[in-house]
Amino acid sequence: MERVLAETENSILYKCWDRLRYCYVVTKTAKTKQGEAELSNEIGILTLLRKEPKCPYFPWMIGVTVEEGVRYCIMEYINGYNLTEELAKEDYPRTELVGWLTAVIEIMIRLHSMTPAVIYRDLKPSNIIRGYDGQIALIDYGIAKQKKSMAEADLVATGTKDFAPPEQWGDANGKGRFCTDERSDVYAFGKTAQAVFRMAGKKTTAGIDRILMKCTARLPINRYTGFPQLQMEWKEMIQHDFS
């Protein structure tokens, strides 16, 4: 193992040197039963992504291995920092932030366009990586899910406080109020965008505020129906506010 990249209550992420491929890779392993469930889920989602044309937006899963009874998911290493780290060390102009968020919208469209659609459910600045080449990528698919029937409630309430929508947190029994869908990720995008501008110390435009207010409406029915609709208004906002 090279070094620990990140550690949570449920999992550990290592940066390692792959002697066969002669490059750095990331290995992820679980610490708890919940972590094992999330790791299995992530492997399933990354397997789906491998069936798509390789895209720099997503980490490429190299494979899964078991050593001394411990399972590791091996992924390509994306050389860069997450947006929380990036904004703590550098000052970026507002146009750069808008560019990052434009890329995030495109990433979410790709996920939601898959068959079945992948609902990410954990969009936040620390899961968005800006590579040294400026490319934006999305990591950590532990609580992502394949879209189910709208009538079927999520079995577990999950997500990150301050970013997950109200319906994702569930009821008093810890179960989702209903099946999270594309609009749940739209809400998290709105909260993520607000956090990015706040951490960067940059003011938003009236057009950005209007879009993010709709994204973060408490009721899903009052949000954008999905990222294609959001993307259309986002592009119009850029032309109006930044041309």
Q: Summarize pLDDT for 56-75 with one digit per residue, the tens.
A: 899 999 999 999 999 999 99
Q: Which DSSP letter does residue 126 get?
A: G
What is the predicted pLDDT for the residue at 169?
79
List all residues 6 or more positions away from 28 whose beta carbon is below 8 Å from its beta carbon.
11, 12, 13, 14, 39, 42, 72, 73, 75
Question: Which range has the top average pLDDT, 8-22, 153-167, 186-200?
Answer: 186-200
Residue 225: what are its φ and ψ, rounded to 5°? -70, -25
Please give the C-alpha separations between residue 53 and each of 56, 58, 65, 83, 198, in angstroms, as whole numbers.
Answer: 10, 11, 24, 25, 35
Q: Which DSSP letter does residue 205 get?
A: P
Tell me the two tokens of residue 113: 């366009």
- Polymer length of the chain: 243
pTM of the predicted model, to two decimals? Answer: 0.92
Strand order in the sheet with 128-131: 80-82, 128-131, 136-138
Residue 15: CATH number of its domain: 3.30.200.20
Residue 204: CATH number of its domain: 1.10.510.10
| Cα 131 from Cα 80, distance rounded (Å) | 4
pLDDT band at 158; cut points 50, 70, 90: confident
Judge whether residue 226 has pLDDT over 70.
Answer: yes
Please give the C-alpha separations between residue 43 and each of 36, 102, 141, in angstroms, as whole numbers.
Answer: 10, 27, 8
Report, as an integer, the average pLDDT of 145-160.
66
User: Range of 138's domain?
Assistant: 80-242
What is the predicted pLDDT for the residue at 194?
98
Q: Which of 76, 93, 127 is the last residue of a domain?
A: 76
Judge whether residue 155 has pLDDT over 80.
Answer: no
Q: Which of 51, 76, 101 is the last residue of a domain?
A: 76
Mark whether 180 and 93 lie in a shared domain. Answer: yes
Mark whether 8 and 102 lie in a shared domain. Answer: no
What is the predicted pLDDT for the residue at 174?
57
What is the predicted pLDDT for the residue at 167?
86
Report, as an integer, the average pLDDT of 131-151.
86
Judge whether residue 150 has pLDDT over 60.
Answer: no
What is the predicted pLDDT for the residue at 171?
62
Tell me the two tokens of residue 180: 């999270």
Q: What is the number of domains present in the chain?
A: 2
Report, as an integer, the average pLDDT of 191-197.
98
Q: Which of 17, 47, 76 is the last residue of a domain?
A: 76
Report, as an integer, the average pLDDT of 164-177.
72
Mark whether 56 and 97 lie in a shared domain. Answer: no
pLDDT tens by residue, 85-130? 999 999 999 999 999 999 999 999 999 999 889 999 999 999 999 9
What is the predicted pLDDT for the residue at 180?
86
Mark whether 12 and 87 lie in a shared domain. Answer: no
Q: What is the mean pLDDT of the chain?
A: 91
Strand partners, 72: 65
Percent of the chain clearing pLDDT 70 (strictly above): 92
pLDDT band at 30; cut points 50, 70, 90: very high
pLDDT band at 175; cut points 50, 70, 90: low
Mark whether 27 and 12 lie in a shared domain. Answer: yes
Alpha helices in 51-181 (DSSP H): 83-89, 94-112, 166-169
| H or E element that contains 30 | strand 23-30
Mark whether 86 and 197 lie in a shared domain. Answer: yes
What is the predicted pLDDT for the residue at 131?
95
In this structure, which long-range contacts are made by residues 62-65, counting pairs with CB atoms below 8 Å and at least 24 apart in sequence?
Answer: 62/18, 62/21, 62/25
What is the predicted pLDDT for the residue at 179?
77
Mark whether 49 and 165 lie in a shared domain. Answer: no
Mark whether 119 and 235 lie in a shared domain. Answer: yes
Mark whether 58 and 90 lie in a shared domain. Answer: no
